[in-house]
Amino acid sequence: MDELAGYSAEVVERCGTCGGNLRSAISQSAFKGRLVWSIDRWCDNCGHAEVVDGWDDMPDELRSMLIEQCGLVRVRVDRAEANPLRVRLMAVFRVNGVGLVEARDAVARLVGEGVTGTDAEMRLLSERLAAVGVTPHLDLLGRSVDEEAEAG
């Protein structure tokens, strides 16, 4: 499983069956150019267990839990390097129905304060950026989501 790169979070909720501790392990990875995510839930008390998984975007609630526990990763590209490749960079963001304006904003962020997301999302984005011919710079912003609000 060498190609899997990602991180995971564990949260404890109340079991809907018995009221015991329902543990959830949430993970998200980049695999062969796509995102893959899963949530494993099991109850210490009654043995209730469930697994939900999927490709591409994960449910927002799970994504928030991941970010809360694992922090945000930021990707940036040097403006000078990005400028001649602007159209191709916009194409990187114009996936999954993302519009022109949104893609343009994303490129502006990329060369400015940076684009943030989960570790797996940003690794995947970096792969796509590298394929266009720019050098992505990744850094971990830590666990505080507040840092995301800092404009560069």
The residues of the shown chain that bind Zn ion, judged by CB under 5 A, are 15, 17-18, 20, 43, 45-46, 48
Residue written as token pair 């043995």 = 47
Q: To the nearest whole angstrom, how small is the minimum distance from the Cβ of residue 11 to Zn ion? A: 15
The residue among 15 and 120 lying less far from Zn ion, judged by its C-beta, is 15
What's the rounded Cα separation, in Å, for the pair 128 and 51?
30
- The residue among 23 and 94 lying less far from Zn ion, judged by its C-beta, is 23
Q: Please identify, using beta-carbon distances, which residue of 46 and 130 lies nearer to Zn ion.
A: 46
∠ CA 124-51-140, rounded to 5°? 30
Q: How far is the CB of 78 from Zn ion (least distance, A)?
A: 52
Q: C-beta of 53: minimal distance to Zn ion in Å?
A: 21
Q: Are 37 and 28 in contact (CB under 8 A)?
A: yes
Place of tokens 């490709």: 55
